[in-house]
């Protein structure tokens, strides 16, 4: 019916649109960025007009205390956020992994925060954190407690709380799904052996969930590096540089300081960091898959 | 906007018929029906200007479409737009510190040829009536140091929505506790810290302090009157001398004695804090002041006294705000000039001022009707005499240095960074930037 | 279905969690019906006289009447809303069609370059939008342009007006292109796990009946992966609808989207809380509707995206 030739071409025809779009709108821009990062380039020039300066942008950044601080803020933000969300999310999942009325309502309402625009999330929290008008300080005041300068003295913490609010549900839902797909037989066996609830969690549930949890954590970690709008709306990176994460600094360098070359070099640093994380994720996943398979086999053999 | 356009369209139709009936075209006839695209900032003055634009359309038949953006965004947009071969905007409003960038990149029309053109230039314009300090600071480039007035300068823009700083204070609170209107910086700082003690829950003075441009602005506001400058005459940074430290100390004192959450205030938050009665003083641009007399937005109507920017070792209030200019890549330059001239004419200036804008003309400040509507107009006119065009350098490298001052100042305020150390750092980095940009070539 | 009986403490916890998740949203909803005076003066709680004035201010450019409290219409929310809608819908449809085809090829065919394609897809998934800002800004403004005197460029200028060379920046298509590219890796990833589950026997049967590969794809495979498509559609729509950074770099005065409008209005002279909350609420409504009606698909999509490491 078809010639062999047409058959060979079919997959390419299916792939072609995606390949073309990703090539011109993702890969080419990334290459363009690397090229631009070696130039002293401002927004009113085309890249051809910009002067080639070699590695200067990278070196300047490396010794730039503001960049280092911003990198520090990014790493702190990402790690605190991921750890806190994992602990709370998995904790809640373990606690609520029961067949109770209202679970589906909870799950539906729980996804709301992450579906809403980051811009709007930033807006809501900026209002709630407002020093005088905001919900938190009003509540504190009516309880007779001293007010807190949320977005001033404790800006990074406040930003982290907002992110935890938005993204803990993500981890909760994935952890819950993982829990509910655990092999019942293993849990039954443990219960028959007289394991307490705590022992079940530590020795059976968590190890079996591990592969999913690690992937979830890494996905969240990579996403945490993408956060920008929430912080932009809440603090615009301030006070000082205390909440200026790298994504925000890239955007400010490009638009406010008008240094596209430096911004490109900064983007490259960020990309390298993420590349390392992604490769790490791959390695860990493969390792875990192998281990989980072994574990599952063992459990199967035991029963 | 749609509504404006609709009425504008109707007015055009009316105008063309009347013009034709009258038999002669007048200066505007040739351009009737043109649509100008203008780029204005979201700012009280320009809100006032937008309210009078329908009047312009009615009179001239030229339609105006406004693209209004927050002023820092506006600058980003213009950076891009002005670099094109053909731009969207016929008339732009620019922040005063953009002057250097745009003129240096040859992106603005020199206005001489328009004022020379008898068909365009209105003989009753009376340029002498324009406030000289503003014209020099905002419109003229190429004089002394490149941004100050001088024989080699020429005109690229006209001040529109230009501002200086004044002090707004709560008359009632000051009277209640027997505090005098602050004349000097010492009195100002004393009052700022006394108020939270005698009036619990109320901050002394609301000031900008948010990281970046705002903190830098707040610092520079005190630097000039206290005798400091960012650079000396040879472009060497002297921001870290005694006056600089004093200015930073003043800012820190003000913020420490300020209202709740003062460290993250932008201008809007600071003005709101004063308008809500949470702070007893507010020293910033005159653009905010009409808002305090508006009962919809303010709880302190009628309780506010207005004074000149207090004196340190000298008087030196800020000069800032906006000018309007015609981009080199504009499509309808002549019509844009007509709009520019109309808005800054005696009549236009007064109309905008009556809607709550900031006058650019001496005659407007003396207008009886305006003084009746906004009682502080006289004080503002007085303050203008001391407006300091050199309170910040308007040079192409300023954006970067400004950002650095801003983040460093914010660190001083929030993280308790040592002031001398912080300013030394700023000076060192500024010198490197200036050196890179070639300011020491002749030394 | 029989529910287990549980300690009341669990229900208390459930209620607390729901309150925490939804509280801020309800608060914003309530505030969007308050006047600024009420928001600031702290007549807190739910006892206030609701007003739609904020919504009138926000939507003044598409209302058929002129609200009394406005001197002129500064906030052109209606136009931005339409831009957002066009951009989000078109990019979602395109992403789905293109992504589906690619996912199908990756799952069902062995071909040269398959592994490379698969790996690239995975890797570009991590690229943050901020990293794309600089190159996209430069390319869309300066490189991806048609000369205004050229054949197509001249035609576009004659038909649609505008000034200068015809560039991707400032057009709907420019923003759509980058959104499609950004979302493709994720969509391909998610759909792969759904396509794998389609029984091969069905496809074989269709082929025997004489259907070509495209017929098989559109008539057999697509209907079977509807749940996956729904999930992918919601996620793509969500990103395109909510994205701020790249849109703000690429849009001009006629192609602004809603998030840009909201950010622009948070940083200025008068923070008009009521109006901002109203615009925020309008932006949040479509995602909220999706969530309430399609939470099952969203959860399926989320698990499919993560579990298939």
Confidence of residue B18 (pLDDT cuts 50, 70, 90): very low
* Nearest CA-CA partner of A111 in C162, B216, C235: C235
H runs (alpha helix) in B326-418: 333-344, 346-354, 362-366, 368-373, 377-384, 398-415
What count of Cα atoms within 13 Å lies in the side-chain half-sphere of residue C224?
18
Predicted confidence (pLDDT) at residue B12 exceeds the cutoff of 50: no
Domain that holds residue C280: 86-307
End-to-end CA distance of chain B: 54
Provide the pairing of β-strand B91-95 with B35-41.
parallel
Chains near C with 3+ CB pairs less than 8 A apart are: A, B
Task: Give the model confidence (pLDDT) of A118-130 as tens digits.
Answer: 988 988 898 888 8
Residue of A nearest to B107 (CA): A44
Cα C120 to chain centroid distance, Å, stands at 23
pLDDT for position C5: 64
pLDDT for position C308: 46
Any domain includes C109 = yes
Distance between CA B49 and CA A53 in Å, rounded? 46
Predicted confidence (pLDDT) at residue C3 exceeds the cutoff of 90: no
Neighbour count for residue C47 (Cβ, 10 Å): 6
Is A254's CB within 8 Å of C133's CB? yes
Domain that holds residue A295: 21-302
Predicted confidence (pLDDT) at residue C35 exceeds the cutoff of 90: no
Q: Find all residues with CB under 8 Å of B251, minimum gap 6, and list them.
A: B207, B209, B218, B219, B222, B409, B412, B413
How many domains does chain C fold into?
Answer: 1
Confidence of residue C268 (pLDDT cuts 50, 70, 90): low
- The shortest CB-CB distance from C61 to any of B2, B37, B43 is to B2
Residue of B nearest to A154 (CA): B414
Reading the block at residue A83, the tokens are 């750890």
Cα A258 to chain centroid distance, Å, stands at 28
Cβ(B378)–Cβ(B306) below 8 Å? no
Select from C60, C76, C269, C275 the residue whose CB has the most chain B CBs within 10 Å, as the one to mutate to test that interface: C269
Select from C56, C138, C147, C253 the residue whose CB has the most chain B CBs within 10 Å, as the one to mutate to test that interface: C253
Reading the block at residue C45, the tokens are 């709680």
Question: Looking at chain C from residue 70 to 99, which residues have their Cβ under 8 Å from any Cβ of chain A?
Answer: 97-99
CATH of the domain at C116: 1.10.3720.10
Is A240's CB within 8 Å of B276's CB? no
Cβ(C287)–Cβ(C258) below 8 Å? no
Is C163's CB within 8 Å of B43's CB? no
Query: Which chain C residues have a beta carbon less than 8 Å from that of A278?
Result: 122-123, 126
Confidence of residue B77 (pLDDT cuts 50, 70, 90): confident
User: CA of A196: how far to CAs of A30, A87, A192, B113, C8, in Å?
Assistant: 53, 21, 10, 90, 22
* Nearest CA-CA partner of A298 in A204, A225, A226, A218: A204
Any domain includes C37 = no
Is C267's CB within 8 Å of B72's CB? yes
pLDDT for position A237: 76
Query: Which chain A residues have a beta carbon less than 8 Å from that of C22?
Result: 109, 112
Q: Find all residues with CB under 8 Å of B337, minimum gap 6, and list them.
A: B111, B114, B120, B326
Q: Where are the beta strands (DSSP E) in chain C?
A: 145-146, 166-167
Predicted confidence (pLDDT) at residue B390 exceeds the cutoff of 90: no
How close does chain C come to B398, measured CA to CA in Å? 22
Is B211's CB within 8 Å of A240's CB? yes
How close does chain C come to B271, measured CA to CA in Å? 8
How many domains does chain A fold into?
Answer: 1
Any domain includes C22 = no
Predicted confidence (pLDDT) at residue C303 exceeds the cutoff of 70: yes
Any domain includes A229 = yes
* Nearest CA-CA partner of B409 in B228, B214, B236: B214
> ipTM of this predicted complex?
0.85
Confidence of residue B76 (pLDDT cuts 50, 70, 90): confident
Tens of pLDDT along chain A (303 residues)? Answer: 444 555 777 888 888 888 899 888 888 999 988 988 998 887 777 777 888 888 888 988 888 888 898 999 999 999 999 999 999 999 988 888 777 777 778 888 888 888 888 988 988 898 888 877 788 888 888 888 887 878 877 888 999 999 999 999 888 888 888 888 777 787 788 888 877 878 888 888 888 888 788 878 888 888 888 888 889 888 887 677 788 899 999 988 888 777 888 999 999 999 998 888 878 877 877 787 787 778 777 766 665
Domains of chain B: 2-163+319-384 (3.40.190.10), 164-318+389-434 (3.40.190.10)
Is B211's CB within 8 Å of A151's CB? no
Q: How many CB pairs under 8 A join B and C?
A: 73
Mapping DSSP onto H, E and C, the string for C53-111 reads: HHHHHHCCCCCCCCCCCCCCCCCCHHHHHHHHHHHHHHHHHHHHHHHHHHHHHHHHCCC
pLDDT for position A130: 82
How close does chain B come to A10, measured CA to CA in Å? 44
The SS3 of residue B283 is strand
Any domain includes C73 = no
Task: Give the model confidence (pLDDT) of A183-220 as tens digits.
Answer: 778 778 888 887 787 888 888 888 888 878 887 888 88
Q: Looking at the complex, does the CB of residue A95 fall below 8 Å from at least one CB of chain C? A: yes
Q: Looking at the complex, does the CB of residue C74 fall below 8 Å from at least one CB of chain B? A: yes
Predicted confidence (pLDDT) at residue B17 exceeds the cutoff of 50: no
Distance between CA B321 and CA B160 in Å, rounded? 8
- C288 versus A133: which is more confidently predicted? C288
Is A18's CB within 8 Å of C102's CB? yes
Question: Looking at chain A from residue 234 to 273, which residues have their Cβ under 8 Å from any Cβ of chain C?
Answer: 236, 246-248, 250-251, 254-255, 260, 263-264, 267, 270-271
Any domain includes C9 = no
Cβ(C96)–Cβ(C181) below 8 Å? no
CATH of the domain at A94: 1.10.3720.10
Question: Looking at chain B from residue 72 to 131, which residues have their Cβ under 8 Å from any Cβ of chain C?
Answer: 72-73, 77, 80, 84-88
Residue of C nearest to B73 (CA): C264
Any domain includes A75 = yes
Task: Give the model confidence (pLDDT) of C64-114 as tens digits.
Answer: 777 777 667 777 788 889 999 999 999 999 999 999 888 888 888 887 778
Any domain includes C33 = no
Provide the pairing of β-strand B279-285 with B158-170.
antiparallel
Distance between CA A152 and CA A137 in Å, rounded? 13
Chains near A with 3+ CB pairs less than 8 A apart are: B, C
pLDDT for position C162: 67
Residues A234-272, buried b or exposed e (16+ Cβ, 10 A)?
bbbbbbbbbbbbbbbbbbbbbbbbbbbbbbbbbbbbbbe
Provide the pairing of β-strand B203-206 with B279-285.
parallel
User: CA of C133: how far to CAs of A29, A30, B69, C136, in Å?
Assistant: 9, 10, 20, 5
Global pTM reads 0.83
- The shortest CB-CB distance from A267 to any of C126, C131, C273 is to C131
Query: Which chain B residues have a beta carbon less than 8 Å from that of C271?
Result: 268-269, 272
The SS3 of residue C3 is coil
Q: What is the mean pLDDT of residues C160-187?
A: 83
- A6 versus B380: which is more confidently predicted? B380
Cβ(B357)–Cβ(B376) below 8 Å? no
User: CA of B393: how far to CAs of B73, B148, B214, C200, in Å?
Assistant: 21, 9, 16, 72
Is C132's CB within 8 Å of A119's CB? no
pLDDT for position B21: 40
Query: Which chain A residues have a beta carbon less than 8 Å from that of C267?
Result: 236
pLDDT for position B214: 86
Number of H helices, E strands in chain B: 19, 10
Any domain includes A113 = yes
């Amino acid at each position: 019916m078809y010639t062999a030739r047409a058959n060979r071409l079919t997959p390419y025809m299916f792939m072609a649109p995606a390949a073309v779009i990703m090539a011109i709108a993702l890969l080419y821009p990334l290459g363009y960025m690397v090229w631009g990062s070696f130039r002293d380039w401002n927004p009113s020039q085309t890249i051809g007009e910009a002067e080639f300066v070699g590695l200067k942008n990278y070196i300047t950044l490396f010794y730039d205390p503001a960049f280092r601080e911003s990198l520090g803020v990014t790493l702190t933000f990402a790690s605190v956020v991921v750890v806190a969300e994992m602990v709370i999310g998995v904790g809640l999942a373990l606690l609520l992994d029961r067949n109770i009325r209202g679970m589906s309502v909870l799950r539906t309402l729980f996804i709301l925060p992450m579906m809403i625009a980051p811009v709007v999330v930033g807006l809501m929290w900026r209002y709630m954190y407002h020093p005088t008008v905001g919900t938190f300080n009003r509540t504190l005041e009516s309880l007779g407690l001293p007010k807190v300068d949320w977005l001033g003295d404790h800006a990074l913490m406040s930003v982290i709380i907002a992110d935890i609010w938005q993204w803990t549900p993500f981890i909760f839902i994935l952890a819950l799904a993982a829990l509910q797909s655990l092999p019942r037989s293993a849990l039954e066996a443990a219960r028959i052996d007289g394991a307490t609830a705590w022992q079940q969690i530590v020795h059976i549930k968590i190890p079996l969930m591990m592969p999913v949890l690690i992937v979830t954590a890494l996905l969240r970690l990579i996403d945490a590096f993408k956060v920008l709008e929430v912080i932009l709306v809440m603090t615009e990176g301030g006070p000082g540089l205390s909440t200026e994460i790298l994504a925000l600094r890239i955007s400010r360098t490009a638009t406010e300081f008008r240094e596209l070359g430096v911004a490109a070099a900064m983007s490259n640093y960020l990309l390298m960091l993420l590349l390392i994380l992604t490769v790490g994720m791959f390695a860990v996943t493969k390792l875990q898959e192998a281990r989980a398979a072994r574990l599952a086999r063992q459990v199967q053999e035991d029963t | 906007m749609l509504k404006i356009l609709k009425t504008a369209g109707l007015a055009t139709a009316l105008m063309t018929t009347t013009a034709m009936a009258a038999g002669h075209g007048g200066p505007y006839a040739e351009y009737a029906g043109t649509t100008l695209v203008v780029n204005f900032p979201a700012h009280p003055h320009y809100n006032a200007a937008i309210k009078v634009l329908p009047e312009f359309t009615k009179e001239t038949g030229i339609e105006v479409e406004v693209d209004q953006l927050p002023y820092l965004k506006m600058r980003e947009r213009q950076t891009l737009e002005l670099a094109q071969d053909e731009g969207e905007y016929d008339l732009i409003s620019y922040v005063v510190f953009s002057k250097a960038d745009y003129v240096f990149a040859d992106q603005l029309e020199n206005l001489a040829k328009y004022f020379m053109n008898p068909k365009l230039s209105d003989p009753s314009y009376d340029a002498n009536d324009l406030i000289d300090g503003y014209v020099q600071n905002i419109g003229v480039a190429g004089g002394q140091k490149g941004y100050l007035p001088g024989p080699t300068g020429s005109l690229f823009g006209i001040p529109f929505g230009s501002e200086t700083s004044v002090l707004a204070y709560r008359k009632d609170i000051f009277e209640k506790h027997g505090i005098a209107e602050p004349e000097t910086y010492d009195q100002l700082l004393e009052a700022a810290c006394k108020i939270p003690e005698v009036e619990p829950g109320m901050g002394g003075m609301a000031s900008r302090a948010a990281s970046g441009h705002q903190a830098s602005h707040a610092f520079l506001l005190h630097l000039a009157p206290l005798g400091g400058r960012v650079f000396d005459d040879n472009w060497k940074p002297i921001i870290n001398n005694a006056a600089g430290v004093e200015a930073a100390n003043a800012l820190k004192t003000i913020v420490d004695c300020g209202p709740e959450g003062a460290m993250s205030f932008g201008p809007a938050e600071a003005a709101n804090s004063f308008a809500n009665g949470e702070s007893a003083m507010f020293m910033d641009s005159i653009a905010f002041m009409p808002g305090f007399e508006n009962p919809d937005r303010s709880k302190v109507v009628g309780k506010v006294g207005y004074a000149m920017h207090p004196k340190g070792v000298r008087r030196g209030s800020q000069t800032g705000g906006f000018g309007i200019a015609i981009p080199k890549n504009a499509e309808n330059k002549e019509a844009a000039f007509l709009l520019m001239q109309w808005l800054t004419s005696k009549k236009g200036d007064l109309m905008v001022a009556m809607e709550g804008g900031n006058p650019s003309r001496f005659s407007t400040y003396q207008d009886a009707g305006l003084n009746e509507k906004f009682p502080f107009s006289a004080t503002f006119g007085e303050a203008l005499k001391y407006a300091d065009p050199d309170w910040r350098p308007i040079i192409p490298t300023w954006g970067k240095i400004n950002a650095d001052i801003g983040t460093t100042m914010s660190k001083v305020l929030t993280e308790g960074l040592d002031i001398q150390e912080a300013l030394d750092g700023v000076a060192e980095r500024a010198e490197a930037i200036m050196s890179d940009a070639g300011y020491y070539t002749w030394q | 279905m029989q529910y287990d009986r549980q300690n009341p403490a669990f229900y208390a916890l459930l209620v607390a969690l729901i309150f925490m998740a939804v509280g801020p949203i309800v608060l914003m909803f309530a505030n969007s019906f308050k006047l600024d005076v009420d928001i600031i003066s702290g007549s807190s709680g739910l006892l206030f006289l609701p007003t739609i004035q904020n919504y009138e201010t926000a939507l003044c450019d598409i209302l058929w009447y002129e609200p009394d409290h406005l001197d002129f219409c500064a906030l052109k929310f209606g136009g931005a809303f339409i831009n957002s809608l066009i951009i989000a819908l078109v990019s979602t449809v395109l992403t789905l069609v293109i992504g589906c085809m690619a996912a199908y090829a990756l799952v069902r065919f062995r071909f040269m370059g398959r592994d490379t394609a698969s790996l690239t897809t995975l890797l570009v998934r991590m690229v943050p939008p901020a990293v794309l800002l600089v190159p996209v800004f430069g390319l869309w403004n300066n490189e991806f342009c048609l000369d205004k005197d050229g054949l197509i460029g001249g035609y576009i200028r004659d038909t649609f007006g505008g000034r200068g060379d015809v560039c991707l920046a400032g057009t709907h298509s420019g923003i759509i292109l980058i959104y499609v590219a950004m979302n493709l890796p994720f969509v391909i990833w998610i759909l792969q796990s759904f396509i794998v589950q389609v029984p091969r026997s069905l496809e074989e049967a269709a082929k025997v009946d004489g259907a070509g590969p495209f017929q098989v794809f559109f008539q057999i495979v697509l209907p079977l992966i509807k749940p996956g498509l729904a999930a992918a559609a919601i996620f793509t729509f969500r990103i395109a609808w909510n994205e701020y950074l790249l849109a703000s770099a690429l849009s001009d005065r006629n192609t602004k989207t809603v998030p840009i409008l909201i950010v622009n209005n948070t940083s200025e002279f008068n923070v008009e809380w009521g109006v901002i909350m109203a615009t925020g609420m309008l932006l949040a409504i479509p995602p909220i509707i999706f969530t309430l009606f399609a939470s099952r698909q969203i959860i399926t999509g989320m698990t499919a995206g993560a579990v298939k490491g």
